[in-house]
Chain A
Amino acid sequence: MTETGPQRNMKTATQREEELFDTARKVASPAERQALLDQACGGDPALRTRVEGLLAAEAEAERFFTEGASALNLPTDSLPFPAGTRAGGGAPRTDLPTEEPIGTRIGRYKLLERIGEGGCGVVYMAEQEEPVRRRVALKIIKLGMETKSVIARFEAERQALALMDHPNIARVFDAGATERGSPYFVMELVRGVRITEFCDQHRLSVRQRLDLFTQICHAIQHAHQKGVIHRDIKPSNIMIATQDGVPVPKVIDFGIAKATEARLADRPLVTADAQLIGTPAFMSPEQAAMSGLDIDTRSDIYSLGVLLYELLTGKTPFDAKELLNSGLDEMRRTLREKEPPRPSARLSALPRSEFSKVAECRQADPARLIWMLRGDLDWIVMRALEKDRRRRYETANGLAMDILRYLSNEPVMARPPSRLYRFRKLVRRNRVVFAAGGAVALALVVGLGVSTWLFIKEREARHRAVAAEQQESRLRRDAEIREKITQAALFVSQERFDSADNLLKDITLFQPTVEGAAVFRSVGEWHALHHRWQQAADRFAQLLLVNQLDGVDVATLDYLERGPALIELGDTNAYGQFRQEAIARFAASPGPFADRIVKISLLLPASSRILESLTPLAESTAKSETEADASGDVFSAAWRSVSLALLEYRRGNYTGAAEWCRRCLACPQYNAPRAATARAILAMSDHHLARTDEARSELLASREIIESKFRSGLDRGTPVQGFWFDWAFARILLREATALIETGAGAK
């Protein structure tokens, strides 16, 4: 055992050294430390030297290790990669250190404590000393990107950010670059937990969750009104702090996504190290499309929808992991095209154990939870998640208002998509929308040569600051308009048309919006039903403009509203212009409802030039009449017959016109205004064919139908019974027929 002896002694020596070091390092006063060492190392100067050496090294050692650890504590993206996984030249730098040792001074701020780490950076609690002494949150961005441009973009938005003043928004104070070159942001320090965690920890009911959510909507609305888009709304950016026992949501990171996401189009959605730019599960389809230019407040509405989805079901509409693993193209396709399951459906599809856990966190039993979500809440969420942003809520307030309506048991505005909408979507999906911007850029390079191209780039850069400012005011204006539209929509739903009309008076829409179209339509109809033809015609004119903004103008029915309004107003000039525009718009691509354009263009007698220009629409109408008839859709066929009758009549082909009228009248599915119209045309045709008796009897029959309707009062109507404008149409033709037959003064 000669070997173990000295070894044991050595260990004991080390042990003694360690114990003494441990005791001494906790003694703060140098004098007491000396006394302790004097006593413990009495006869062992070597021990004393060693312990003193350790004590002297301790502080420096601590710092050395902390700094060393900062190289290791980098998130996973700093880990080495198997060869070949790193993307080529476009990959952003990732070697910028984002960890700074505690105590480091960055600008005016001193780091106190590392409080967290997110997808895009490390967050510290820091102390600001001047101009005011306060604690702030300091976030060092880790994405390897051009620090200068990040800060420049932040500066561009700083004014707008400064305008935001809302109790549920964490303020952003400052931005800068660390000595090592990483960009950082300084924000109001929020002590709280992320909303999803908070809700589950406190087992908040659906109602309580909705209450928090509407507060968040109002905060986002406030920002939108100041022209600021968040662009990265997700649970980790919404913290719940408790103030006096009341949970208060705080939206953090405003302005940061904007500053850090620029040049999206130039970069992969996922960098080489799986570092996501944006959070895919919360990313709107247009963000995923990465056109990069065209993000507006409605992207935030989408993200709010995802947040609401998760608050209600505990899941995001698309699983983040699956999105990530599906690969880039597939991810984009999913976000842009795939309809997520409704929240209630998503819950029913969960495994039983998971489902009951989700329900428990919401203090509800599973069956009841599904019952609560089905219907209104499903619709509200799905409306916010619409792929086509025009179908989403116009504003965060609109979304909040719909939730409040749900909470107070009022009917919500969100409804399942109409058939018209589906048709539009079908049309849109088949258009080639691919990378128009890219194609243009390429054409420029090829056509102008590289130096010209570089010049243009330069000039673009100079103009960019100006453009950013203009963009901001445009966003503010758009937000105001959307706010008004939402409000007007609410008034319309309450049948307070005058209030709605007041809001609409000075709005000009620049963006297509289904909600906006519906409001203009309703208010226009309200005016029409009260015979205020000028106002009606004006609102319908706006409506037609909105429809055109949509790109594919398929709302032919709306043309039937404006025509009669103009004629009742007596403005034949405006009518003449209106029909020329209508024909020009549809003649090139007559759709399934060309008959409506034919009909509305011939409400007054037409020149041969106009009749000529109607030819393609007329052919299309004849074809669709034959098809409808053959397929048994006699109702539609009869409507098309009326159009063809009017066309032949205006052409002077009275026999043909009479023939079409009879065909229409023979339709077994009766429609009163259609029949009245057909009889009026038939009366005029008979008159020209010198069948005076028949003409008079048809005229009487037509008048009988129309007068009885107007006596009982006109209403908006239905597709089967006929709309108000079908009646207005019939009455205008009846007047013409009356003038022709009874006074002999009809227009030739």
Chain B
Amino acid sequence: MSEITQILQAVGRGEAGASEKLLPLVYDDLRRHAAVRMAREAPGQTLQPTALVHEAWLRLVGDGDRTWENRAHFFGAAAEAMRRILIENARRKSRLKRGGDQVRVDIDQLELAATTPDDKVLLIDEALEQLQAQDPDKARIVVLKFFGGRTNQEVAEIMGVTERTVERHWAYAKAWLYQIIRTRK
């Protein structure tokens, strides 16, 4: 059994930390697949790169017979891992822009409206920690939608709720998170 399969099963069993182990193993391959695909995408094609990565990931490790539950976990884990990568990336870019070694965004020094998109991502991520503690389900929706690039329908399928619920939670979570970000500032 390959390492990937073992970890995938661990992910499937919901083992803590399993998804973090999985992504580094397959990430390079994913990127390459995604890049190849992207090079051929047309204007009019709206596939998000993150979704692409998921697709590539699925193709890489999936055998099509995986149960629905595993898929759900799988996507959740993928989105979570994606989040980490994107945050790492945003942090790197934000740091580069400021030209220093600052790891945390010093939000006190920033006008909220003037923050760069990368700073916004970092601020959202921070606030998300708080939502996670209070309402893990909504936090998961934010991860899937914002970092995972998934549609309402996909999130609904992954979480086993209706699309309407996803839409409602998502709208609420955004306003809630923004208030947190604003008050923190």
CB-nearest residue of chain B to A78: B89
Q: Are A79 and B44 in contact (CB under 8 A)?
A: no
Check: B25 CB closer than 8 A to any chain A CB: no
Q: Are A95 and B41 in contact (CB under 8 A)?
A: no
B57-74 near A? 1/0 per residue, CB < 8 Å: 000000000000000000
Q: Are A64 and B89 in contact (CB under 8 A)?
A: no
Partner of A71, one of B49, B117, B168, B176: B117
Instruction: Name the B residues within 8 Å of A197 (CB-CB).
Output: 42
Partner of B88, one of A54, A73, A77, A80: A80
Q: Are A61 and B178 in contact (CB under 8 A)?
A: yes
Partner of B52, one of A76, A97, A99, A279: A76
A320 to B92, CA, bound (A): 32
Instruction: Name the A residues within 8 Å of B41 (CB-CB).
Output: 116-119, 236
Instruction: Name the B residues within 8 Å of A42 (CB-CB).
Output: none
Check: B86 CB closer than 8 A to any chain A CB: yes
Taking the closest CB of chain B, its distance from the CB of A110, in whole angstroms, is 19
Known: A71-B117, A72-B86. A273 touches B96 (CB 8 A): no
A17 to B41, CA, bound (A): 43
B110-128 near A? 1/0 per residue, CB < 8 Å: 0010001110110110000
6 more CB-based (< 8 A) A-B contacts, given A61-B179, A76-B52, A97-B117: A17-B172, A80-B89, A82-B28, A95-B96, A115-B46, A320-B39
A275 to B181, CA, bound (A): 36
A602 to B117, CA, bound (A): 82
Interface residues in A, total, Cβ within 8 A? 61
Check: B104 CB closer than 8 A to any chain A CB: no
Interface positions of B from 134 to 162, Cβ below 8 Å from A? 135, 146-147, 149
- B positions within 8 Å CB-CB of A: 28, 31-32, 34-36, 38-46, 48-50, 52-53, 85-86, 88-90, 92-93, 96, 112, 116-118, 120-121, 123-124, 135, 146-147, 149, 168-169, 171-172, 174-179, 181-182
A176 to B18, CA, bound (A): 47
Q: Are B146 and A69 in contact (CB under 8 A)?
A: yes
The interface centre, meaning the residue of A17, A57, A325 with most chain B CB atoms within 10 A of its CB, is A57
Q: Are A193 and B44 in contact (CB under 8 A)?
A: yes
Known: A18-B172, A68-B146, A72-B121. A77 touches B39 (CB 8 A): no
A77 to B38, CA, bound (A): 10
Q: Are B181 and A320 in contact (CB under 8 A)?
A: no
Instruction: Name the B residues within 8 Å of A65 (CB-CB).
Output: 120, 124, 146, 174, 178
A673 to B118, CA, bound (A): 85
Instruction: Name the B residues within 8 Å of A235 (CB-CB).
Output: 42
11 contacts between A and B (CB under 8 A): A21-B172, A55-B175, A60-B178, A61-B179, A64-B181, A65-B146, A72-B90, A80-B89, A117-B43, A193-B44, A235-B42
Q: Are A68 and B179 in contact (CB under 8 A)?
A: no
Check: A123 CB closer than 8 A to any chain B CB: yes
Known: A74-B49, A80-B85, A274-B35. A14 touches B43 (CB 8 A): no
Q: Are B43 and A118 in contact (CB under 8 A)?
A: yes
Check: A53 CB closer than 8 A to any chain B CB: yes
A365 to B95, CA, bound (A): 60
Q: Are A236 and B179 in contact (CB under 8 A)?
A: no
Taking the closest CB of chain B, its distance from the CB of A457, in whole angstroms, is 31
Check: A139 CB closer than 8 A to any chain B CB: yes
A114-136 near B? 1/0 per residue, CB < 8 Å: 11111100010000000000000
Instruction: Name the A residues within 8 Å of B112 (CB-CB).
Output: 64
Q: Are A117 and B45 in contact (CB under 8 A)?
A: yes
Interface positions of A from 1 to 32, Cβ below 8 Å from B? 14, 17-19, 21-22, 25
Partner of B31, one of A19, A25, A76: A76
Q: Are B36 and A321 in contact (CB under 8 A)?
A: yes
Instruction: Name the A residues within 8 Å of B178 (CB-CB).
Output: 57, 60-61, 64-65
A73 to B150, CA, bound (A): 12
Main secondary structure of the interface of B (DSSP, over half): helix
Taking the closest CB of chain A, its distance from the CB of B64, in whole angstroms, is 16
Instruction: Name the B residues within 8 Å of A78 (CB-CB).
Output: 89
A82 to B88, CA, bound (A): 12
- A positions within 8 Å CB-CB of B: 14, 17-19, 21-22, 25, 53-55, 57-58, 60-62, 64-65, 67-80, 82, 95, 97, 99, 114-119, 123, 137, 139, 192-194, 197, 235-236, 239, 252, 273-276, 279, 320-321, 324-325
Main secondary structure of the interface of A (DSSP, over half): helix
Instruction: Name the B residues within 8 Å of A119 (CB-CB).
Output: 38-41
A54 to B85, CA, bound (A): 30
Partner of A79, one of B31, B45, B175, B179: B31
Instruction: Name the A residues within 8 Å of B135 (CB-CB).
Output: 14
Taking the closest CB of chain B, its distance from the CB of A248, in whole angstroms, is 16
Q: Are B38 and A72 in contact (CB under 8 A)?
A: no
Known: A57-B182, A64-B181. A79 touches B49 (CB 8 A): yes
A116 to B43, CA, bound (A): 4
Instruction: Name the B residues within 8 Å of A236 (CB-CB).
Output: 40-43
CB-nearest residue of chain A to B168: A22
Q: Are B39 and A70 in contact (CB under 8 A)?
A: no
Q: Are A72 and B50 in contact (CB under 8 A)?
A: yes
CB-nearest residue of chain B to A60: B178
Q: Are A21 and B43 in contact (CB under 8 A)?
A: no
Q: Are B146 and A324 in contact (CB under 8 A)?
A: no
A552 to B175, CA, bound (A): 74
Q: Are A118 and B86 in contact (CB under 8 A)?
A: no
Taking the closest CB of chain B, its distance from the CB of A310, in whole angstroms, is 11
Instruction: Name the A residues within 8 Å of B175 (CB-CB).
Output: 21, 54-55, 57-58, 61
Q: Are B35 and A273 in contact (CB under 8 A)?
A: yes
Taking the closest CB of chain B, its distance from the CB of A247, in whole angstroms, is 16
Taking the closest CB of chain B, its distance from the CB of A282, in whole angstroms, is 10
Q: Are A73 and B48 in contact (CB under 8 A)?
A: yes
Taking the closest CB of chain A, its distance from the CB of B103, in whole angstroms, is 15
Known: A57-B175, A95-B93. A116 touches B146 (CB 8 A): no
Q: Are B90 and A71 in contact (CB under 8 A)?
A: yes
Q: Are A116 and B45 in contact (CB under 8 A)?
A: yes
A239 to B43, CA, bound (A): 10
A57 to B31, CA, bound (A): 36
Instruction: Name the A residues within 8 Å of B116 (CB-CB).
Output: 71
Known: A54-B175, A60-B178, A65-B124. A76 touches B38 (CB 8 A): yes
A65 to B93, CA, bound (A): 18
Q: Are A76 and B49 in contact (CB under 8 A)?
A: yes
Q: Give the 9 A-B CB pairs with smallest separation, nearest first.
A: A116-B43, A61-B178, A236-B42, A71-B117, A68-B120, A274-B35, A123-B43, A54-B175, A116-B44
Instruction: Name the B residues within 8 Å of A274 (CB-CB).
Output: 31-32, 35-36, 39
A19 to B116, CA, bound (A): 32
Taking the closest CB of chain B, its distance from the CB of A85, in whole angstroms, is 9
Instruction: Name the B residues within 8 Å of A25 (CB-CB).
Output: 171
Instruction: Name the A residues within 8 Å of B86 (CB-CB).
Output: 71-72, 79
A497 to B4, CA, bound (A): 71
The interface centre, meaning the residue of A197, A236, A320 with most chain B CB atoms within 10 A of its CB, is A236
A57 to B172, CA, bound (A): 10
Taking the closest CB of chain A, its distance from the CB of B67, in whole angstroms, is 27
Instruction: Name the A residues within 8 Å of B176 (CB-CB).
Output: 54
A194 to B174, CA, bound (A): 36
CB-nearest residue of chain A to B117: A71
Q: Are A73 and B168 in contact (CB under 8 A)?
A: no
Partner of B42, one of A61, A79, A118: A118
Q: Are B168 and A18 in contact (CB under 8 A)?
A: yes
